[in-house]
Structure 1
Amino acid sequence: MTAIDRRIDPAGTVAVVGTGTMGQGIAQVALVAGHPVRLYDAAPGRAAQAADAIAARLERLVDKGRLAPAARDAALGRLTPVAGLAGLADAELAIEAILEDLGAKQQLFTALESVVSDGCLLATNTSSLSVTAVAGALRCPGRLLGLHFFNPAPLLPLVEVVRGFATDQAAADRAYETVAAWGKTPVRCADTPGFIVNRIARPFYAEALRVHEEGAADPATVDAVLRECGGFAMGPFELTDLIGQDVNEAVTRSVWGAMFHDPKFTPSLAQRWLVDAGLYGRKAGRGWYDYAEGAPSPRPHTAEPCRAPSTVAVHMGRPGSGSGPAGELPRLIEEAGITVTRGDTGADAPPGGFIALPDGTRLALTDGSSATVGSPVPRIWFDLTLDYRTATRMALAPGETVSPEAVRAATGLFQALGKKVSVIQDVPGMIVARTVAMLADFAMDAAARRVASPEDIDTAMRLGVNYPLGPLRWGSELGARWVRDILLNLHQAYPTGRYAPSQSLMRRAAAEEEQFSS
């Protein structure tokens, strides 16, 4: 058994190079797990400042009752700032958290390689660069891998363990076991642009920006719909303000470039303008929203109270299509005291059927197309929800030929179900449906390409960005045929390749159809 095959000793020294917010967080995690930690930063005095900052963090944990004073004292006794790389010679694991520059990282690891032992595991915390490229300059590239922590590292459980093209399997296993011993949740990942989370999460931001750029809804309304209708913890505009518009846009551009400008990853012009203007979000005092003292809180568009119709007609989906994701709505309408009659569905109706309002306007779950284009009768799309019973907001998109009276009737219908209603412009796929369909497709494609296992993909998206469901599970619950059809209609509306379904999704949908037909 070689030195690198061994699991890192629970008392082995961990070196952290780069002492910004992320470096400090990683050092704190290793300290609390029982390791001696050496801190190094190229800026003179920065490592000592970081040690003081970590001590203050541990003190706050003691004040909150989350860490015993004796444990704090023991941890601080293991923390040592060093003035040069030579002070890291006894490290068993060295983690780099410096600026996102390939040349700088290669130079650092080349220097580290001449200092540490051959058994020392080398790890980069890069979020956007190729682990394979970082290792390319090394004498022994097999011992370098990615350990991508999420900020704040002491709080967020997820760590992506990224195996580069040259990374030894033993090194990846050793890192995985070490991270798990620290109480984190590691997931294995191939070295692909964005790894798991930053690759699959791109549509969450991109589709919201696209809806805004088309003038369909303002940022506050998009955020509210994705939170209160889609079940996401934060909307994309408030989340990117928190992350930093410059940081989020840089990751988007990095993934887009690494994917050879694949249209599925195209950055947003609106976000580019925000970055060019220096409106980076919370840290700048203004981004999509204004964070100045006394600034008004963002207010989504919410319709005024409207009268619900006393009766509606429910036309079920075509044979074989099922009732679709909105199948619970007729029951909810009846529970609200509205009379529901049943009718047949014509060949021109959406697969999941529709609800006929008293004037004949059709109310249906969006199928990814425009509510106006190609419809023989006036129709209003409503958006996908995580759960139609518990959702507190509904988005409606009326076609151009829909009367104001019909919009009020549809609004009143959902208000009778206890929902706030946001009426947006007619945009294909609306907000939640297009976002979730793209997330599910990205996840299916990543699993098919062996970026990570299906289980690790769903775990990463739940823990890394706090999605209410893993996108693969969500796609499975919606059905591959439904996801495929949403994207095919979006692809027809925007024939750029951005919404073309992946081959993995097409195969799953075909298998579903075969299963039904048999």
Structure 2
Amino acid sequence: MSLPTNKTVAVVGAGAMGQGIAQVAAEAGHPVLLFDAADGQAAAAAERLGRVFARLVEKGKRTQADADAVLKRVTPVATLEDLAPAALIVEAVVERLDVKQEVFGKLEEICGADAILATNTSSLSITAIARPLKRPARVVGMHFFNPAPLLPLVEVVSGLSTDPEVADLVFDTAAAWGKSPVFATSTPGFIVNRVARPFYGEGLRIVEEGAADPATVDACIRDAGGFRMGPFELMDLIGNDVNYSVSAAVFEAFSYDPRYRPSVLQKEMADGGLLGRKSGRGWYDYAQEAERPEPPEAETADIAPPDAAILLGEPGPWSALFERLAEAGLQIERQEDDCLFPLLDFGPVILCPTDGAHAESIAEAEGKPAIVMDLALDWTKAGRIALARSSNCPAEDFARVAALFQAAGMKVSPVEDVPGLIVARTAAMLMNEACDALYKGVSDPEGIDTAMKKGVNYPIGPLAWADRLGHARVLEILDNLCDSYREERYRPCALWRRLPEVLQFREE
């Protein structure tokens, strides 16, 4: 059951987030009280809302009558005491535990005993915020994403003391407001800020290792991984200072677990003022005359692609790729094999999907020079592929295989032989983090995947992608990454080794 629209919603904090939350609640039909501790800020936010709706009317997205009705429901107030009638109070003040505790402590005395105190915190413990209160059961997380009127996700976060009925009501209310709510427990980063860490962390690590430049990483993540933006583009949009601080906060909150260790390179960027778009320069130069760097591509001029190969093993999720290569002129002979990752044997060299190990080790195991290819989300649409070769693979053979992918309509990014390449490594680590969040009870599979799709626009939920790729293959990639680096950062979640139970649970 959602909060009835005749019940008043209060928003504390009239910055961009508070203003957006007030707009969402008012558009849903609630009377909204808007407060900010800074004199005049609430009234200024109401004026800004007026300009927002004027533009919406001008563009034909709202009628004037609808805009007037929404704006009439938003009332700026001067004191916390004015919020006494509210049934739901959403706090969007500075991200400091002591400040949030103080605000809620005062509101608990001012508002009715049944009032719900919802915090929009993105990183603080709901349990800690509720600790000094007389009614901690009424405290819940209601984490919107910025801009709140546009982004659909709301993480409904329960602390150890949160009444389940309170969380249910807030969940249903968010849904009634047109949002896509998900349940989460109060753990560092909740769902999105926790699961998303490898998206940035692995791209940074790849650049730190000299395997590829930012432009190549971004291009592969977009054109093969299906993401709207690559990690370096997104870090520049968010701000390297902000993104680094979130990573550092999650790292600290998890007691310095190596899996969340932030990048020294990104810290250097932030310390140097190379923040991204807002400073004019970050991983890319945003000066008006600056040219965007293009990722290097394989040189294959006057080199004919191979015309035949033997496919060893079941193609599985690579079926569409092999069909695409066949349409480009490659004759493929099928032979049965136990390969978890199928091989294309061209005679002088073999080609296989990356399993998280070095091409060097694959070449040694197979007794032939090896070329490893990166992962793609959808092989029918992939516009780019990253390839790496073992040290004994002749440049001409690499160029011939690259020419085959080009003939199939894909750009080829040659990268250094690093475990997992770019997309496969990033995706596997996202899957691992999502699996760990599931294992630790942060949310359920649907909630985790919904959060990543609706909160940060992932093309597919990481658990759904793991289902598509095959859990045994994901575990193999993670095991090989862990073996290659000998770092706890890459340890697979224990849940991967209980996959039949997980699959059965998901199917139900």
1:356 correspondence with 2:349: no
Among residues 107, 111, 125, which one is paired with 1:112 in the alignment? Answer: 107
Q: Deviations over 1:389-447 (max 9, x none)?
A: 21011111112222111121121010010001111111100011111111122222212
Partner of 1:326, secondary structure, is: helix
Q: Which residue of 1 aligns with 2:291?
A: 296
Q: Which residue of 1 aligns with 2:268?
A: 273
Equivalents in 2 of 1:490, 1:134: separation in Å?
38
Q: Deviations over 1:333-363 (max 9, x none)?
A: 2211233344576x9xx632322335x1211
Q: Aligned ranges for residues 148-167 of structure 1 at < 5 Å?
A: 148-167=143-162
- Asked if 2 retains the 8 angstrom alpha-carbon contact of 1:125 and 1:149, the reply is yes
Equivalents in 1 of 2:304, 2:101: separation in Å?
64
Partner of 2:490, secondary structure, is: coil
Q: Aligned ranges for residues 12-23 of structure 1 at < 5 Å?
A: 12-23=7-18
Q: Which residue of 2 aligns with 1:378?
A: 369
Equivalents in 2 of 1:143, 1:442: separation in Å?
30
Q: Which residue of 2 aligns with 1:429?
A: 420
- Asked if 1 retains the 8 angstrom alpha-carbon contact of 2:307 and 2:329, the reply is no
Q: Aligned ranges for residues 224-243 of structure 1 at < 5 Å?
A: 224-243=219-238
Q: Which residue of 2 aligns with 1:481?
A: 472
Q: CA RMSD in A?
A: 1.8
C-alpha distance 144-254 of structure 1, shift in aligned 2 (>3 A): same
- Asked if 1 retains the 8 angstrom alpha-carbon contact of 2:220 and 2:386, the reply is yes
- Asked if 1 retains the 8 angstrom alpha-carbon contact of 2:310 and 2:346, the reply is no
Q: Which runs of 5 or more residues in structure 2 are unaligned?
A: 504-508
Among residues 322, 331, 338, which one is paired with 1:339 in the alignment? Answer: 331
Among residues 363, 385, 389, which one is paired with 1:394 in the alignment? Answer: 385
User: Letter of the aligned partner of 1:363 in structure 2?
Assistant: L
- Asked if 2 retains the 8 angstrom alpha-carbon contact of 1:8 and 1:174, the reply is yes
User: Letter of the aligned partner of 2:212 in structure 1?
Assistant: A
Q: Deviations over 1:143-196 (max 9, x none)?
A: 011001011110111101001111111211111111111111111111111111
Deviates more, 1:378-387 or 1:36-45: 36-45
Structure 1 residue 373: deviation in Å? 3.6
- Asked if 1 retains the 8 angstrom alpha-carbon contact of 2:12 and 2:92, the reply is yes
- Asked if 2 retains the 8 angstrom alpha-carbon contact of 1:357 and 1:409, the reply is no
Equivalents in 1 of 2:404, 2:37: separation in Å?
63
Q: Which residue of 1 aligns with 2:506?
A: none
Q: How many equivalent pairs are there?
A: 499
Among residues 313, 328, 349, which one is paired with 2:320 in the alignment? Answer: 328
Partner of 2:488, secondary structure, is: coil
- Asked if 1 retains the 8 angstrom alpha-carbon contact of 2:362 and 2:370, the reply is no
C-alpha distance 380-132 of structure 1, shift in aligned 2 (>3 A): same
Q: Aligned ranges for residues 46-445 of structure 1 at < 5 Å?
A: 46-306=41-301, 307-317=303-313, 322-342=314-334, 351-357=340-346, 360-373=348-361, 375-376=363-364, 377-445=368-436
C-alpha distance 424-62 of structure 1, shift in aligned 2 (>3 A): same
C-alpha distance 458-303 of structure 1, shift in aligned 2 (>3 A): same
Equivalents in 2 of 1:374, 1:300: separation in Å?
26
- Asked if 2 retains the 8 angstrom alpha-carbon contact of 1:11 and 1:36, the reply is yes
Equivalents in 2 of 1:200, 1:222: separation in Å?
19
TM-score scaled by length of structure 1: 0.93
Structure 1 residue 324: deviation in Å? 3.9
Deviates more, 1:435-444 or 1:123-132: 435-444
Equivalents in 2 of 1:406, 1:32: separation in Å?
61
Equivalents in 1 of 2:362, 2:469: separation in Å?
25
Partner of 2:359, secondary structure, is: coil
Partner of 1:394, secondary structure, is: strand
Equivalents in 1 of 2:152, 2:463: separation in Å?
20
Q: Which residue of 2 aligns with 1:516?
A: none
User: Letter of the aligned partner of 2:309 in structure 1?
Assistant: A
Partner of 2:110, secondary structure, is: coil
Structure 1 residue 509: deviation in Å? 6.9
Equivalents in 2 of 1:401, 1:42: separation in Å?
67
Q: Which residue of 1 aligns with 2:27?
A: 32
User: Letter of the aligned partner of 1:330 in structure 2?
Assistant: F
Equivalents in 1 of 2:134, 2:425: separation in Å?
46
TM-score scaled by length of structure 2: 0.94
User: Letter of the aligned partner of 1:432 in structure 2?
Assistant: V
- Asked if 1 retains the 8 angstrom alpha-carbon contact of 2:341 and 2:473, the reply is no
User: Letter of the aligned partner of 1:365 in structure 2?
Assistant: P
Among residues 451, 454, 466, which one is paired with 2:457 in the alignment? Answer: 466
User: Letter of the aligned partner of 2:28 in structure 1?
Assistant: A
Equivalents in 1 of 2:162, 2:336: separation in Å?
60
Equivalents in 2 of 1:324, 1:36: separation in Å?
54
Partner of 1:220, secondary structure, is: helix
